[in-house]
Structure 1
Amino acid sequence: MLHHAGADISEPMLFGLGQGIDFQYWDAPGPGRGTPMLTGRIGPALLSRNACSALGVDLRESRASDPEAARAAAAELLEGGHVVGVSVDIFYLDYFSSRSHFASHYIALYGLDGSFAHVVDTDQQGGAQTLPEDSLRRARDSGEGFLPSPNLQLYVERLPRRLTDDLDAVLREQIWSAVRSTAQRMVGDRGQRSGLGALRRAATEIADWKDVPDELVAGVGRFWRFAGTGGANFRRLYREFLTEARRRSGDATLDEAVDDFADVERQWDKAIELLMSYPAAVDRHGRLADVEARLTAIADAERSAFERLLTVATKRVGEPA
């Protein structure tokens, strides 16, 4: 949406300014699912709100009362030259290989022609896609799956002139504030549903998954790796954000943070490999203990990395108001 409006900002930079990194523990959403939903970021709409707030962009959100009203509202915005972000359930997207309901997914809608909808999804899903309008209608209207937001849509108003005239300066000004807010949140005690407390809870509970079917255990690893929701993917994005922040700001104190998150990313990849290969493990109890130890070590490493970032960021921009 921002690129269409004229701001060429990278995904890692938006992720960092949006304070997107986290760990969240959600109880199993329904019968038949033996494992909780474990995600490595904040909510997608919240990420968009944070990023737009940092950039001074007016992000508009609305939720229609029914599919017909949602279609009419989107068509009006498209006619006005906007790209529209829409919340969807991936189960109803024709081009998605997954046959699971997952409603916390967003795509960019850039065209409706009466029969087909033209959208942009992630690179993993092929980027630009065309699907029947009826499929998009059902995907938008779904109340099933994880965190559904039926008929929710987002769009950005005209960008502040400074964002197109002096983008680099705007980004440099906002980097340390976003880092400080993120680090402060990540080192804070938010119980066992969010943050590092949730990661430690997940580590402890995974060690007791001996009665969980093999494929469900391996499925958590596959979900983390391939669905884009797990720790390694978002730690990579945060490392890339810090790398770009280092380049734009010229601040060498970010070098240590880049190294910290490269190590964290490698540890997450190892934990994912342990989970994905679980069905083939000779000692399954020992394998779960290994996963527990790895995730606990990750929680320790992330706390240390964010504590160091918070110290430096506070020196750069001061204590939060």
Structure 2
Amino acid sequence: MIIKDFKPFNGQHCETTATGSLLNQLGIEFSEPMLFGIGEGLGYIFWNMKIMDFPFIGGRVKPDILTENICKNLNLELEVKETSSVKRAWENVKYHIDHGKAVGLKLDCYHLDYFTNKIHFAGHYVSIYGYDDEVAYLNDTNQQGRDARTSLRSLALARNERGPMSSRNRSYTISRSGEMPNLKDIIKKAVLNNATDFLNPPIKNIGYKGISKTSTEIKKWFETSTNISKDFQTSASLMERGGTGGALFRNIYRDFLKESAIILESAELESASEDYNEIAKMWKQLSGLFESIGETENIVYVNQASEVLKELSEKEKSTMEKLREACL
């Protein structure tokens, strides 16, 4: 069973790509930056737990929240299902596909057949639009080939994996529930909410405070790591190519602000877009320093990375303060 009218979403980031493809089915078509911005998606987290091989650096709000915000702000109905039963998990998906409705999935990309870089990351998203006796048909990001296929067995393993950021076989669908609000109002509300959250993190490893904290934590990480090369190079790869952070989300948010500045005729949003263009370049520089740390194991690059993070914290705080004032 394959949904004939399914229109794949063309995206760089997994959750906007998965959710965007579900919106396409409803005739709701936005650019990826606009979806990310409407979803109040820009954020930061430095997350380190004993069960993790190395700390996680994320450049967006935590998993699931982006899609929840998109649906809330666009006045759409989001139906989420989770279960510990692998059989029930598949039935939840199969039912909707059999009725012509694509489904969003959250899973661990490690198990997917088409992923060549085998790293456990349970916060990955895809949409599924078809299946046969052996294979699932998925819409993934451009980096992963967009039109992807994996065995039903690998999909079940990916969905049922446990660990950081995992869910209990989470699947979701989206439906219309009424009139969509005015886009100008949606944008202003989303920017204000995103800026307010970024500037008022509940704990010190989130938002601009989290970026600042990372400037000291990477020194501890360097000193305690049992495999500096693997840790820092893998982190750099995840940020730049895996879609967890780095310049990716800053570039996407830059483009959202640029698009929104035209819609709202706002010089303030245009200026903030230019700020994030420079901020994104600094994140690119940071991932390069992480690569150098991994290649040389030289603390000089750790100290340089620490200084870049301190500056990034101040720049992002300042830009978000401007955005908050512009949308009050």
TM-score (norm 2): 0.88
Alignment of 1:173-252 (within 5 A): 173-208=185-220, 209-212=222-225, 213-252=228-267
Deviation at 1:189, TM superposition (A): 4.2
Query: Which residue is 1:85 aligned to?
Result: 104
Q: SS in structure 1 opposite 2:30?
A: coil
Residue in structure 2 matched with residue 23 of structure 1 by the alignment: 44
> 1:28, 1:37 within 8 Å by CA — same for their partners in 2?
no
Which ranges of structure 1 fall in alignment gaps of 5 or more residues? 164-168, 315-321
Tell me how far apart the structure 2 counterparts of residues 29 and 98 of structure 1 sit (CA, whole Å). 23
Cα distance in 2, alignment partners of residues 159 and 10 from structure 1: 22
Paired residue for 1:152, among 163, 170, 188? 170
Corresponding residue SS for 1:97: coil
Deviations 1:197-228 (A, max 9, x none): 11111111113414532332232222211111
- In the alignment, does 2:121 pair up with 1:102? yes
> 2:241 & 2:50 partners in 1: Cα distance?
20
Distance 1:83 1:239, change over 3 A: same
2:316 pairs with 1:297: no
2:283 maps to which of 268, 274, 284: 268
Measure the CA separation in 1 of the matches of 2:321 and 2:117.
38
The letter of the residue matching 2:240 is R
Within 2, Cα distance between the matches of 1:222 and 1:186?
A: 25
Residues 88-139 of structure 1 deviation map (CA, whole Å, 9 limit, x = unaligned): 1111100011222111111001012222111101111000112211111111
Q: Deviations over 1:24-58 (max 9, x none)?
A: 12114526x2x311111112311000011000010
Partners of 1:193 and 1:4 in 2: CA distance: 37
Partner SS state of residue 176, structure 2: coil
| 1:264 CA drift (Å) | 0.6
**Distance (whole Å) between structure 1 residues aligned to residue 201 and residue 86 of structure 2:** 40
**Is the CA contact 2:268–2:323 (under 8 Å) kept in the aligned structure 1?**
no
In the aligned structure 2, how far is the partner of 1:142 from the partner of 1:170?
Answer: 40
For 1:151 and 1:280, how far apart are their aligned partners in 2?
37
Q: Is the 8 A contact 2:101 2:129 kept in 1?
A: yes
Matching residue of 2:7 = none
2:147 corresponds to which of 128, 131, 137: 128
Equivalent-residue separation in structure 1 for 2:272 and 2:217 (angstroms): 29
Task: Give the percent of matched residue pairs that are identical in Structure 1 and Structure 2.
Answer: 28
Counterpart residue identity of residue 272, structure 1 = S
Counterparts of 1:290 and 1:11, CA distance in 2: 33
For 1:245, the aligned partner's letter is S
How far is 1:159 from its partner? 5.7
Instruction: Give 1:311's aligned amino acid.
Output: E
Partner residue in 1 for 2:298: 284
Q: 2:134 maps to which residue?
A: 115
- What amino acid is aligned across from residue 148 of structure 2 in structure 1? Q
**Residues 57 and 156 of structure 1 are in contact (CA less than 8 Å); yes or no, is this contact kept in structure 2?**
yes
After TM superposition, which residue ranges in structure 1, 4 or more long, deviate above 3 angstroms?
A: none
Structure 1 CA distance for aligned equivalents of residues 149 and 84 of structure 2: 25
2:7 equivalent to 1:7: no
**AA paired with 2:322?**
R
On the 8 A contact 2:81/2:92 being kept in 1, the answer is no
Counterpart residue identity of residue 191, structure 2: V
Deviations 1:200-259 (A, max 9, x none): 111111134145323322322222111111131111111011011112222222111111
Q: Any conservation in 2 of the 1:85–1:106 contact (CA below 8 Å)?
A: yes
Ranges in structure 2 where 5+ consecutive residues have no aligned partner: 1-21
- CA deviation after TM superposition for structure 1 residue 280, in Å: 4.3
Q: What SS is found at the alignment partner of 1:39?
A: strand
Alpha-carbon shift at residue 158 of structure 1 (Å): 3.2
How many angstroms apart in 2 are the aligned matches of 1:220 and 1:64? 31
Q: How many residues align?
A: 304
Q: Distance in 2 between matches of 1:202 and 1:65?
A: 35
Q: Does 2:61 align with 1:49? A: no
